[in-house]
Structure 1
């Protein structure tokens, strides 16, 4: 089993995150932000990565630290679980329809973190979550996990559908990318022999 576990405590948040890349999509998520819980649960269910994510954050200030640090810890746990990345498929792409909205997510577990984000919202909040924080969540997880991540909403009008399509697309792309390719054996999927440099 490829697992990772991160405990991270700062003056702003206290976080415990664990993942199992070879799981079934079971989750136990509590961040204090209901909509963020829902999105991380969607990620787990559709990636088949088991996720435990418990966060106690300074929500009396705002949601920024809780959102950012949940993504950092989740990304670090994924990176830990991937280890030397031997045998992984490495790349993943998903088109994710959610009613009238269509998202496209393409990623490379390259060790070189990049986020290209092409999505926008017409509401300041979904539930109690600030919509401006979604891009930052993906920036933080890409940085912590070492992922080159391209996210685009091709079209859509309902803000909930747009972001849920994005999270589900990210999940499906990650599911493909972390899978072990039996044809690769123990090889790192790079002609350099390493990923991340």
Structure 2
């Protein structure tokens, strides 16, 4: 069973996270941020990863430290769960339509972190959530997870749909990339390492 467990304690956040790749798509625990709990629930459901989360942050300041640090911890746990990456698909691409919105996520579990986030400007808030934190989360996740990550908004005007589409597409692309390929006998790279 592939799983990763990471604990991060700073003056700003305290996070303990366990991620299991062969799961049922369940989130146990809370970020303390209602909208982001919704996104993490969608992420788990569509990836079929199980995530157990204990988290507190300095939400009296704002949500930035919590969201960024959760991205770091989730990326580290995902990387740990993959192990040496032998036998995985490595690449994943998924399109998610949500009414007027179409989001594409394409990624490579290459060990070479990079983020291209091609989104139209979003309103400052969705409910009480700062939308500028979405690219911050994606950057932290990609860089700590060693993932080349491309996120592209093809269409969309509703900011809730756009952000929800991103998390669903990310989850499905990760599920595809992390899945075992029965034909792959080793590391899916001509270098022999990822």
The aligned residue for residue 144 of structure 1 is 144
The answer (yes or no) to whether the contact 1:121–1:159 under 8 Å persists in 2 is no
1:91-141, Cα deviation, whole Å (9 max, x unpaired)? 000010011100000000000000000113432111221000000100000
Q: CA deviation at 1:52?
A: 1.5
Is 1:68 matched with 2:68? yes
The equivalent residue for 1:56 is 56
C-alpha distance in 1 between matches for 2:72 and 2:103: 23
User: For the residues of structure 1 that align with 2:6 and 2:127, how far apart are their CA atoms?
Assistant: 28
Aligned to 1:44: 44
Contact 1:25 1:50 in 2 (8 A): yes
TM-score of the pair, normalised by structure 2: 0.98
How many residues align structurally?
Answer: 194
Aligned-partner SS, 1:134: helix
**CA deviation string 1:57-85 (max 9, x = no partner):** 01111111000001100110000100111
**Residue 26 in 1 paired to residue 17 in 2?**
no
1:122 paired to 2:119: no
The correspondence of residues 1-197 of structure 1 with structure 2, limited to 5 A, is 1-185=1-185, 187-195=186-194
Describe the SS at the equivalent of 1:60: coil
For 2:81 and 2:13, the matched residues in 1 are separated by 23
Where 2:19 maps in the other structure, the secondary structure is: strand
Q: Which moved more, 1:41-50 or 1:117-126?
A: 117-126
How far apart in 1 are the matches of 2:169 and 2:47?
A: 9
**Unmatched runs of 5 consecutive residues or more in structure 1:** none
Task: Determine the C-alpha separation between the residues in 1 that align with 2:132 and 2:172.
Answer: 23
Provide, for residues 14-58 of structure 1, a one-character-per-residue CA deviation record: whole Å limited to 9, x for no partner. 001111111111111311111111111111100111112221001
Let me know the Cα RMSD of the aligned residues: 0.9
3-state SS, counterpart of residue 149 of structure 1: strand
